[in-house]
Amino acid sequence: MRILVTGAAGYIGSALVRALAPHEVVGTDQSAPASVLGNLAYPQFARSLITPEVDAVFHLASLVSGGAEQNFELGTKVNLDATRDLLEACRLAGRCPKFVFASSIAVYGGAAEVTDETPVAPRLSYGAQKLLCEILIDDYTRRGYIDGRALRLPTVMVRPGSANTAVSGWASAIIREPLAGRDYVCPVRPDTRMACISLRRVVEALVHASRIPDYGSKRTVLLTGIPVSAEQMWNAVKGRASGKVRFQPDPEIQAIMDGVPKATFSRRAQELGFRASANIEEIIREYEEASVAHHG
């Protein structure tokens, strides 16, 4: 198989590329490591990535929540227009590749507990852009241009290195920084909860989504995200961390976090064989194992 991965140098993308290693993978991003360097905000570049030889597309590239909120024009170009350019390129190539799309639970807005029946109601431009992409994927699939498979991702953690522009970036930093011996000022209250899933489970889910023979009439699946509070995250590492955490809520970030889903549960995902993280301890253990393997 020849597989295209957008956002290949990113947190999820780089892990996915490693998981797809037996296949011929073309990874694209704005920075190395990537097979093809370029910016998806430029239509000509996005459309050039789809050739008749491409069997599957994993579209992960995006400008995440905080960035898309701060720069509406760029968020629209990267999150919506680039997705449509890729879909159009698939249509014009005359094939029907599998098109696996990383969507987000940001499509739900203010619902605290999300299930398969929860109506979508995005409150951020990022969530609105992801939802529009899901609708496009449904229609392109209906018309036989692609075989679309979208996953609504909870907060994926623990992100190594520096944070991106995601509003939920604190959820990784509150674990990563103390374990690395650095103090961290958490911008939300200790009782602030997030729907969480580990990087390992998300990569498994993306690969699994591409392999399911019958994805059903609904082309978007919600992944289950376990509810974890900032205090629980800190308590899970406190005993062995040399760095300290201090809670100092930022009103703007707190207001956004108060409106995001605190937990997600999908019976459909369960029936299709997608696995959730068991608890915060498992998520941290997987992060530490991956760190040792990466540096080893």
Backbone φ, ψ for residue 256 (5° rounding): -70, -45
Per-chain mean pLDDT for the chain: 93
Torsion sign across C-alpha atoms 269, 274, 278, 279: negative
**Are 87 and 50 within 8 A, CB to CB?**
no
Pairing state of beta strands 263-264 and 147-153? unpaired
**Are 93 and 52 within 8 A, CB to CB?**
yes
Give pLDDT, residue 66.
80
Number of domains in the chain: 1
Give pLDDT, residue 256.
87
For the residues 123-144, what does the mean pLDDT come to?
Answer: 96
- The whole-angstrom separation of Cα 33 and Cα 198 is 22
- The whole-angstrom separation of Cα 20 and Cα 3 is 8
pLDDT at 167 over 80: no
What's the CA angle centered on 54, arms 48 and 57, to 5 degrees? 85
pLDDT bracket for residue 294 (50, 70, 90): low
For the residues 182-188, what does the mean pLDDT come to?
Answer: 95
- Tell me: the pLDDT tens digits for 25-68? 999 998 888 889 999 989 999 999 999 999 999 999 998 878 88
DSSP 116: T
Q: At what angle do helices 11-19 and 199-211 cross, to 10 degrees?
A: 50
Of 30-39, 123-132, 170-179, least confident by mean pLDDT is: 30-39
- The whole-angstrom separation of Cα 22 and Cα 147 is 22
pLDDT at 253 over 80: yes
**Are 49 and 148 within 8 A, CB to CB?**
no
The CATH number for 104's domain is: 3.40.50.720
- Closest CA relative to residue 158, chosen from 83, 241, 80, 222: 241
Residue 29 tokens read as 């991003």
This prediction's pTM:
0.94
Give pLDDT, residue 3.
97
Q: Which domain holds residue 282?
A: 2-295
- The whole-angstrom separation of Cα 106 and Cα 108 is 5
What contacts 157, CB < 8 A, 6 or more positions away?
A: 171, 172, 175, 196, 197, 198, 199, 283, 287
What's the CA angle centered on 78, arms 74 and 80, to 5 degrees? 110
Q: Give CA separation, 280 vs 155, 169, 236, 277, in Å.
A: 12, 16, 7, 8
Q: Which residues are catalytic?
A: 126
